[in-house]
């Protein structure tokens, strides 16, 4: 089957080409993001493969369908960027990679916490500049402090396990109790208690209508002064304007982000020779107590291999027409 890949980088091509050795699909790699215009580049393709920041709205799905596309294969876990109602309307199937490496994101999340707390990123720069002073680098012992984990699915559960092993008291909030988290030592509490008691809050729920801006001004008001907030989930679970106000007031003491509400205009590209016009993002960067990375939590060789093999497997399963697609996402 011919599959047109949008928004690709060299590393996508490398891992998908390696995984394809066992399959018969014709893969076309495009650097362009999927848009209403670039959707015309799918001539002869029955499937497209897109990434987290490709917006797959109703207009684009209509055009893809006109072009003969019948399958949208997401090479990521989240699917908030796809209009599933429109996909259903046009008879276009949507598949994803639900779990390519929860470890990759969980380990990265804990890495962000540790680096932010002990200011390792700042110390690295200071030492290279010949500044060996410890002023400004003081952190706190994480052992004995309380972490609040919002969303205890595959990634959140691994973060719970690691933080429990580090000696933290872990509170969890999720509509569904994950018994593994309880066994590992977490205690499920209501979200108000989690906000009020946690020294560190980490977000691992998907972006949905329900979780959009789950961290807003009202939620932040309920948190401890000086709380560390970590988001490796999706940018829009946090109201960035409210977070900036709380960094200014000192209510939020440390902020670690791997995702950002408007990241599709910035992330995954080199903008270092351009003027960045997103004033909200630029304001976030000015704080001494923020650590921001560009959606790299997933980025390990193991995860890339799993993404490639699962995505090609999803496409093969569709092609064989055997009925149910294991990794299909539908509107519910």
Residues in touch with ligand NAD (CB under 6 A): 77-78, 99, 102, 105, 150-156, 173-176, 204-207, 210-211, 232-234, 258-259, 295, 297-298
- Could you tell me if 64 and 294 are in contact, meaning their C-beta atoms sit under 8 angstroms apart? no
Q: Nearest approach, Cβ of 173 to ligand NAD (angstroms)?
A: 5
Q: Nearest approach, Cβ of 77 to ligand NAD (angstroms)?
A: 4
Q: 233 vs 290, which CB is nearer to ligand NAD?
A: 233
- Could you tell me if 311 and 49 are in contact, meaning their C-beta atoms sit under 8 angstroms apart? yes
Catalytic residue, chosen from 75, 161, 234, 261, is: 234
- Could you tell me if 227 and 252 are in contact, meaning their C-beta atoms sit under 8 angstroms apart? yes
Residue 169 makes CB contacts below 8 A (sequence gap 6+) with 144, 145, 146, 147, 187
Catalytic residue, chosen from 263, 264, 274, 283, is: 263
Q: Nearest approach, Cβ of 265 to ligand NAD (angstroms)?
A: 17
Q: Annotated catalytic, 25?
A: no
Q: Annotated catalytic, 263?
A: yes
Q: 188 vs 287, which CB is nearer to ligand NAD?
A: 188
Q: Nearest approach, Cβ of 293 to ligand NAD (angstroms)?
A: 9
CA 315 to chain centre: 23
Which string of b and e fits 229-260 if b means at least 16 CB within 10 Å? Answer: bbbbbbbbbbbbebbbebbeeebbbbbbbbbb
Q: 148 vs 313, which CB is nearer to ligand NAD?
A: 148
Q: 4 vs 50, which CB is nearer to ligand NAD?
A: 50
Q: 154 vs 213, which CB is nearer to ligand NAD?
A: 154
Cβ-proximal residue to ligand NAD, closest one = 153
CA–CA gap between residue 150 and residue 253 (Å, rounded): 19
Residue 220 makes CB contacts below 8 A (sequence gap 6+) with 242, 243, 246, 251, 252
Which string of b and e fits 51-89 if b means at least 16 CB within 10 Å? Answer: bbbbebeeebbbbbbebebbbbbbbbbbbebbbbebbee
Catalytic residue, chosen from 295, 305, 319, 328, is: 295
Q: 78 vs 111, which CB is nearer to ligand NAD?
A: 78
Q: Nearest approach, Cβ of 299 to ligand NAD (angstroms)?
A: 7
CA–CA gap between residue 16 and residue 313 (Å, rounded): 11
Q: Nearest approach, Cβ of 176 to ligand NAD (angstroms)?
A: 5
- Could you tell me if 79 and 331 are in contact, meaning their C-beta atoms sit under 8 angstroms apart? no
Residues annotated as catalytic are: 234, 263, 295
């Amino acid at each position: 089957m011919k599959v047109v890949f949008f928004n690709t980088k060299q590393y996508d091509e490398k891992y998908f080409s390696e995984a394809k050795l066992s399959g018969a699909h014709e893969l076309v790699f495009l650097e362009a993001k999927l848009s209403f215009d670039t959707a015309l580049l799918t001539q002869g393709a029955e499937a497209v493969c897109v990434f987290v920041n490709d917006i797959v709205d109703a207009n684009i799905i209509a055009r893809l369908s006109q072009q003969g596309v019948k399958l949208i294969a997401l090479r990521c876990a989240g699917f908030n960027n796809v209009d599933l109602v429109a996909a259903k309307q046009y008879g276009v199937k949507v598949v994803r990679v639900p779990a390519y490496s929860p470890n990759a994101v969980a380990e990265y999340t804990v890495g962000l916490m540790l680096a932010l707390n002990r200011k390792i990123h700042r110390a690295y720069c200071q030492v290279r500049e010949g500044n060996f002073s410890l002023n400004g680098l003081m952190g706190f012992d994480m052992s004995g402090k309380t972490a609040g984990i919002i969303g205890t699915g595959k990634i959140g559960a691994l973060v719970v396990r690691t933080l429990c092993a580090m000696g933290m008291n872990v509170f969890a909030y999720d509509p569904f109790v994950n018994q593994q988290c309880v066994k590992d030592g977490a205690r499920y509490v209501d979200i108000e208690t989690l906000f009020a008691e946690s020294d560190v809050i980490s977000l691992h729920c998907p972006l949905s209508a329900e979780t959009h801006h789950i961290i807003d001004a009202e939620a932040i008001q309920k948190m401890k002064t000086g709380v560390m907030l970590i988001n490796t989930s999706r940018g829009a679970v946090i109201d960035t304007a409210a977070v900036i106000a709380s960094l200014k007031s000192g209510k939020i003491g440390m902020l670690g982000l791997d995702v950002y509400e408007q990241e599709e205009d910035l992330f995954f590209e080199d903008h270092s020779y351009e003027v960045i016009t997103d004033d909200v993002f630029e304001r976030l960067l000015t704080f001494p107590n923020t650590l921001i990375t560009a959606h790299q939590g997933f980025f390990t060789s193991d995860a890339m291999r799993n993404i490639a093999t699962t995505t090609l497997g999803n496409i093969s399963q569709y092609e064989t027409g055997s009925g149910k697609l294991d990794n299909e996402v539908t509107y519910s």
